[in-house]
Structure 1
């Protein structure tokens, strides 16, 4: 059932049948790429991304190839044995642009950069290894302040695995049970935004997670300002106990992994 749901979603995107998705305008996709920095080269890698590659990402935005680009350092987990310590997130509107999110940028890069910059840009492989590249579909997103223009400093990444093929149950739980709680609790401060993202590619039963939710925070201290859960629950879901709320969540999915990312730079 889970794979069937993904097939329907992908088919709707590929063949333009937006009535299947009720998505207007075109949906957002997120290319998430994880990087492992070369030992003792993390500072040099960050500088390369921020001072050189960011120029190319800004040009991609100018040309309408992408919507935005963010660079994150993985705060937790950390250590020499982690699989990656940096993450880039590239936001693209519309599936067609996912096929070639660079356009002719690699051909044009020599014209956009100085000779020294171009040489350093092409040598970024000496500073880090690109370990994974994953495409996510943006299911849902809410912000405490819809007018905010600067990305949040921190993201708590919650990687979820659906239980017993309960795809519909998991999506309904996230959007109809959990999301309204986030909306209510955001009114008291703390969380700046919340997002729900389905993993599109790669996919299959052997994937470590099926979807991700992300909790956004503007400051470190905001992570400890979640508000009164019991009051929010009584207001949003009258008559539902905390035990029943937790059961609806745990019956549909399990938390496979959690990471904390810190924003280093961005282009939009």
Structure 2
């Protein structure tokens, strides 16, 4: 099934938080939440989310078709026990926008350098649809702060058709005041009561949900401790067993799950960046498909230097220009100058995507590039290796990498920076053996890079091999005595 045809929406005003929307309890807009529950069969779903689906949904936000999109990872019960690993949620106030008929056109606008057919093929390969549902908000409590709700607890209820009115009255009249008290004490970030409208009826499983929003995990623990003390404070002197227990006869509490927000769109992004060439450069201007080596500094409006590849990694950034549609902005910026040239790009918050807003702290930023070298054309071996791992498995990926490294080294590029990023992507997806292989190959190709040793040590540490981790942290420190992060991780292993 096409991922988009079932983009799961949820059902909570708490997601309105992520959009800056503040729903009013007495005059809420009608909000629809499409919820798609997804299995991650190959460990590559989040890669497809970040590079394809997130830009796609951001484009739909920019167009006003939806308000917000987020991807959640199921943290409790343990991943896989419920039949799905992730939940994709889209929020809209336009029910008609859920009837998709322009997905190819939207994706082309979001990723103009990509083949839509190839992008959808990758999405289908990396996600299995468990279910798709649409919910509508029935009642809720809005967030009182602008903190991101990192976790939500979703409680699934089955209510018989002839009891829905009494059930909603009980949730809103008895349980909502308790949650309001917890919200006031900052023990809870938000609360929502949602009803499933598609597919309809209790024959398809739970037809109502309550959703509790939390800013962090400790808040969840505090909520569980203070729920009934809060009920006592709201209903002093009353028989709580009788008052609260009546809801048991109205619904079946099927299960509870805790989801962690791992990716989301931002407010609409406007094309307002300003590009200023400070030095044109004396060498050739790079074209798509050529290898480039460059440095970049990112400076926030408050003057803080938030990124400097040389200070942080000790290596230049390298890539095949235009090889990753998600990084189209790099192609746009670097194509302004030639070798040795420098360009400054001012990016206001309104023009930043979710990733950029993460490290900008929602401030305007300035990107300063220095194009060091323009190399010959090459195919991006790292992206191909990524696809091999996800689609054919580690053994096939190893065989392919060995073959092209020895027989076609001049045709495929495996840059240190992009190999390093692939390794961490694999680790984040739980593919630890695959990550170790990528990090080891990167270190083998770059034996004097402290960053390659540090990253390989991180992979060994994730695998539980502290001996090898310590060895490579030590090597990183020997190569670069100023590598403070490597020193700290090595000291932690020796405790």
Q: Which TM-score band applies after superposition, normalised by the shorter structure? A: 0.7 to 0.9
Answering whether residue 197 of structure 2 is matched by residue 200 of structure 1, we say yes
Q: Note the C-alpha offset of 1:185.
A: 1.6
Aligned equivalents of 2:27 and 2:151: distance in 1? 29
Larger Rg belongs to: 2
Aligned equivalents of 2:240 and 2:28: distance in 1? 37
Which one has a larger percent helix, Structure 1 or Structure 2?
A: 2
How many residues align? The count is 240
**Cα gap change, 1:234 to 1:84, in 2 (>3 Å):** closer
**Cα gap change, 1:231 to 1:81, in 2 (>3 Å):** closer
Answering whether residue 87 of structure 2 is matched by residue 87 of structure 1, we say yes
Question: What SS does structure 1 have at the residue aligned with 2:60?
Answer: helix
- Find the counterpart in structure 2 of residue 9 from structure 1: none
Question: What SS does structure 1 have at the residue aligned with 2:78?
Answer: coil
CA contact (8 A) 1:142 1:193 kept: yes
- Find the counterpart in structure 2 of residue 189 from structure 1: 186
**Which gives a bigger RCO, structure 1 or 2 (Cα 8 Å, sep 6+)?**
1
Q: Note the C-alpha offset of 1:222.
A: 0.8
TM (norm. structure 1) is 0.81
1:58-110 Cα offsets, whole Å, 9 max, x none, are 11011111010010011122355541111011001033333x2x452322423
Q: Note the C-alpha offset of 1:120.
A: 3.4
1:263 corresponds, among 258, 261, 276, to 261
1:147-179 Cα offsets, whole Å, 9 max, x none, are 4263x1111110011257311111011111000
The unaligned stretches of length 5 or more in structure 2 are 1-25, 267-495
CA contact (8 A) 1:33 1:131 kept: yes
- Find the counterpart in structure 2 of residue 124 from structure 1: 123
Aligned-CA RMSD value: 2.4
1:217 corresponds, among 214, 219, 238, to 214
CA contact (8 A) 1:155 1:217 kept: yes
Q: Note the C-alpha offset of 1:116.
A: 4.4
Aligned equivalents of 1:229 and 1:26: distance in 2? 29
CA contact (8 A) 1:163 1:251 kept: no
CA contact (8 A) 2:183 2:189 kept: yes
Aligned equivalents of 1:190 and 1:68: distance in 2? 25
Q: Note the C-alpha offset of 1:235.
A: 4.0
TM (norm. structure 2) is 0.45
